[in-house]
Amino acid sequence: MVRVEVKWQKEVFKDLEVDISAPPAVFKTQLFSLTGVAPDRQKIMGLKGGLLRDDADWGSTGIKDGSRITMLGTAGAVPVAPTQAPTFLEDLPEDQQDVMGLSKYGAGLENLGNTCYMNSTLQCLYGVEELREDLARYAAASLTSTDPNATLTTATKSLFSSLSTSAQPVPPMAFLLSLRKKFPQFAQQARQGMEEGYYMQQDAEECWTNLLYVLRETLQGSSPAAGSAVERLFGVRLAARLTCAESGESLEEVGTAYTLKCNISAEVNHLADGIRLGLKEDREKTSAALGRIAPFVGSSQITALPPYLTVQMVRFYYKADVQQKAKILRKVAFPAQLDVFEFCSPELQAELKAPREAAKAAEDAKAGATKSGSGPAAAGDAAPGPSTAAGPADAPAPATMAAANTPPAANSGALTARYELCGVLTHKGRSADSGHYVAWVKQGDGRWILFDDDRMEVREEADVLALAGGGDWHMAYLLEDPKAQA
């Protein structure tokens, strides 16, 4: 950490602390909060090497205590950063400390100018506890690394840490700069009449996919066998069989997907219908028998399931006449619990059979105990005790429900191919590149929280299940489901 003096127009900022273990982009964000000059408009001079670049190595700039730096740039029609750092819960007076009781679920994210697509993506991923833990353990190979993957991962780690401690909405500026540095498409600008350029709305699914791609590369296990955290948490193993009707050829392909597609047609009314359609694939390939390109008809089956299953409602398609992604508004209902057993390969179904039977037996036993009055629910005024498999409390938390559904130890922890809905990313509007995105995330205590940029609201499960579409209200675009274990 060094202290410098920065001159901007008629103002002089003395004794500014610069963290030289972080990239210069973080320093530019600091100046943005003081001056309102967006980082991409800043010209910073006075150090070795000419103008300071976002990815410069501090060691080559000659920066030291007392360095005098000049910044050029004017504040324009850009997102307004906060003039002070986020206020943390422990710093607030007691009468202001989280009267709504929502801080335990994280914090909102400020919209920095059409960034709701990014905020909703981050809130859904923040809801995955295992991913937060992997990010907390992440350490870049070098503190001054200029690798954009490492920079974006470090920014994600820092942002998630802020969400866990802040009592006020967090401005994700460092993350946004890193995202745009790695993926320039998210820095696209447009003009409206004679006004200056503004950042365009983007597709949340593209943000989700690109961020997971980076985290898959950086969050590697301690050994090659451990693999990537993203693959371990979200990877769906698929086996596809392709058949050519002309030649009779049959080909097999295996791979990993990180989302299942729910294709939407006039016949699709439920999520399972769309997934079934999405697992079918027709494509053209070179036929060895015919010596030319020929049509192949294919279908895929799941051969291995992840702890978290993500399903994309394929609601957008490119409409050539207006040159934008138009939206399919059709209502597609989705359940609170999704069973993907029918989409699994015969081999995987055989593995799932015993855990599923054990889970059903436990559920039947629990239902029978409750009905006969032998469980805690029929205990009347008896003194309360710890929750057990004998029966649920009046309003059981997920952990209690898991205990109540625990089958014999031989199958404990095994997958059943049933997934409980835990997150929904929705879109309101008619185009992927316009409108508004928000996130609905189920918390560990069973409550649903709506994250609408910097606002947080408690919602009911019925509100979430109503996001099936069919109008201009918010409708599901990405669904996130954690496993239900035996």
| Residues with Cβ within 8 Å of residue 481, at least 6 apart in sequence | 308, 309, 310, 311, 338, 419, 420, 421, 422
pTM for the whole structure: 0.71
Q: State the pLDDT at residue 360.
A: 87
Q: State the pLDDT at residue 39.
A: 84
Within the chain, which residues score under 50 in pLDDT?
A: 78, 94-95, 194, 376-412
Rounded CA gap, 388 and 400, in Å? Answer: 8
- Residues annotated as catalytic (active site), given as ranges: 116, 436
Tokens of 236: 């769906």
Q: State the pLDDT at residue 373.
A: 60
Are 204 and 117 a contacting pair, CB within 8 Å? yes
Q: State the pLDDT at residue 251.
A: 87
Rounded CA gap, 18 and 14, in Å? Answer: 12
Q: Which residue type does 35 have?
A: T
Rounded CA gap, 96 and 93, in Å? Answer: 5
Q: State the pLDDT at residue 363.
A: 82
Question: Nearest CA to 58 among 140, 139, 2?
Answer: 2
**Considering the domain 2-72, what is its CATH architecture?**
Roll (3.10)
| Residues with Cβ within 8 Å of residue 277, at least 6 apart in sequence | 262, 263, 265, 268
Q: Which residue type does 465 have?
A: L
Q: State the pLDDT at residue 377.
A: 45
Q: State the pLDDT at residue 322.
A: 67
According to DSSP, the β-strands at 280-287 and 2-8 are unpaired
Domain ranges across the chain: 2-72
